A and B are shown apart, each in its own frame.
Chain A
Amino acid sequence: MAAPPLTEPETAAPVTPELEQASIKAEARRGFLIALPSFVYLILLFVLPLVLVFIYSFATRDATGQTVLEGWNLDSYRRLLSTEVLQIFLRSLLLAVATTAICLTLAYPFAYYIATRSPRVRNLLLILVMIPFWSNFLVRTYAWRVLLGSEGPLSQLSELVGGEPFRLLFTIPAVLIGLVYGFLPFMVLPLYAALERMDWRLVEAARDLYADGWTAFRKVTLPLSMPGVVAGSILVFIPSLGAYVTPALLGGARTVLMGDYIVSQFLAARNWPFGSALSFAVMFVMLLATIFYFRAGARTL
């Protein structure tokens, strides 16, 4: 008598619809297992805290300022509509829009330049774009404090040519400069990726069909690089809107922006419910902006 097989035999029987279904299901199960670690990670460390913040935004504070998880109400959300909050929010929004616009204007020609170089030069330039990431963002922002300060090289240069010493530090323009500096690579890289994929024969075709260089760019290159414009804009706009480090270091005490305002609610003011509501409001605006951008991007394609 033959020994029983140790493992299930490979099914070499003719396939039936049931067997085929079973194999499709097994395949789906394997895919889920592969993704499981990241699911667990994201649920524990991202979704759960977010739910907590959401719950806190409806909580109340006792006399000592301690948050108590009862007496659920919408007070924090009502306060979002106060003039103070709306002003801060508008200021942050304008700054984020300006940062995105300036980054786009600076990054597009640069990305175009990189994408049209030979592969060797291309890689070198891409490394140059990424080099700033090798040093800490905080350190680099401190460097801007030196650069922009009244004793800094820019100010000295202005004096040297007979101008006034200037004080750019702790102003909105200083924050704008810092944000553009910090987020420029996030604009360059997606634009480069879009332009690098570009089929330049299409531009030749446009030139062949009587378009001059600029028109060919407007009618062909720009619309086809729109996915890069959308991706880059989202990558710059969203962190700009909630930026904390740059406004805190370059903006000084007088220029309150959304990021530092939220932080101050959690720390100095100890008003966690209001801080939570603010966080959710910002997230909501970001979501709207993202949807708007993707729609706009999809339309041009």
Chain B
Amino acid sequence: MADPAVELADVTKRFGDEVVAVNGIDLTIEDGEFFSLLGPSGCGKTTTLRMIAGFEFPTEGSIRIHGAEMGLKPPNQRPVNTVFQSYALFPHMSVAENVAFGLNMKKVEKSEVQLRVSRVLDQVQLSKRADARPSQLSGGMQQRVALARALVNEPEVLLLDEPLGALDLKLRQAMQVELKDLQGRVGITFIYVTHDQEEALTMSDRIGVMNEGSLLQVGRSEEIYEHPTSMFVADFIGDINLLDVTLNGSGSARLSSGAEIAVAGGTVGSEGSVTLALRPERLELYDLDEEIPAEHNRVRVRVSRRMYYGDVHFYDVDAGIGTEIEVKEENRPGVELYEVGDEAYLVWSPEAANLVTS
């Protein structure tokens, strides 16, 4: 079996004596994968990417690309290319010259350079702007030039540092689809750094969530979303309600209001305080006299706020536990709206909740 595209083994990066930007990361990214590093700013995701690219070197640890140790190799000797957050297009060169730069550096034959440049410009629909300067292009076009400039070299791994960050929402969403399609067509491994959890969820084969220099959880989008293993991941990705509960050793738990609820998954025999993570869209409100599905938890609540978004509506409900619980309901036909002050049952399946620690 082929070597994985990128392997990081116990990679640590310190700046000076105080700052630990990346703290002992182990990570294997498979060939052809669309892998996202997700985390808030300053979490070490960009530093990790820069170490793979060769702009920074790890203080300790090993980075391999397709089995080859990178050590202290400079960027120009690594089989990767980067799409920079700010695009970093050469302002004194035309679009075509920008795209041809890498091939010219690799001393590829002139006629082939021309062929490959025009092919890739075709791919990103910029053939007509080949002679323009980057400053004459819109943000979205510049972003496509940056992509073309990296892709034309057919790197083993493409590194993307928040490449859509500077675009407005509509364009960003269109480019997300375009990027994902493109990755499927060219079959190159993408490592994508972003702080936008929605972007990571929609585009990635797998996601690695980082915080404060550590890699907290690695998994497919739905694993990360449905089964966060830590409070940080649960809270960072999507909306979530975090409830303090006390396990009582018999597979159920008690809310701080005293209400007893069922919890799923091997909790029989465990006792003590834990946090229950509940997605707002997994919660439902039922009238007090409505029939509630079997095996579901129900807690009596009072609606304290309602927000109407058109496609969905949000409720904040008071269950007498100190904090309010957010409920998200789709606007389906027949769904009746609750008014502020209404009493109702908050209902969820025990499987929909996750217990998280720290």
Contact = CB atoms under 8 A, between A and B. Distances in A.
Interface of A: 199, 201-202, 204-213, 215, 219-220, 223-224, 300-301
Given A210-B106, A212-B76, A204 B101 contact: no
A199 B106 CA distance: 24
B76 A205 contact: no
B82 interface: yes
B68 interface: no
25 contacts: A199-B86, A199-B88, A202-B88, A202-B90, A202-B91, A204-B55, A204-B84, A204-B88, A205-B88, A206-B101, A207-B75, A208-B54, A208-B55, A208-B80, A208-B82, A208-B150, A209-B101, A209-B105, A209-B153, A210-B102, A211-B101, A212-B76, A220-B90, A224-B91, A224-B92
Contacts of A199: 86, 88
A205 B84 contact: yes
B82 A223 contact: no
B81 interface: yes
A213 B74 CA distance: 9
B81 A208 contact: yes
Contact of B92 (A208, A209, A301): A301
B117 to A, nearest CB: 13
Contacts of A213: 74
A214 B89 CA distance: 19
Contacts of A209: 76, 81, 101-102, 105, 149-150, 153
Contacts of B55: 204, 207-208
Max count, chain B CB within 10 A of own CB: residue among A205, A208, A210, A213: A208
B237 interface: no
Contacts of A211: 76, 101, 105
B147 interface: no
Contacts of B84: 201, 204-205
A210 B149 CA distance: 12
A225 to B, nearest CB: 11
B308 to A, nearest CB: 40
Nearest to B152: A209
A101 B76 CA distance: 32
A40 to B, nearest CB: 39
A212 B81 CA distance: 14
A210 B92 contact: no
B102 A207 contact: no
Interface string B231-255: 0000000000000000000000000
A93 B92 CA distance: 32
B90 A207 contact: no
B90 A208 contact: no
A194 to B, nearest CB: 13
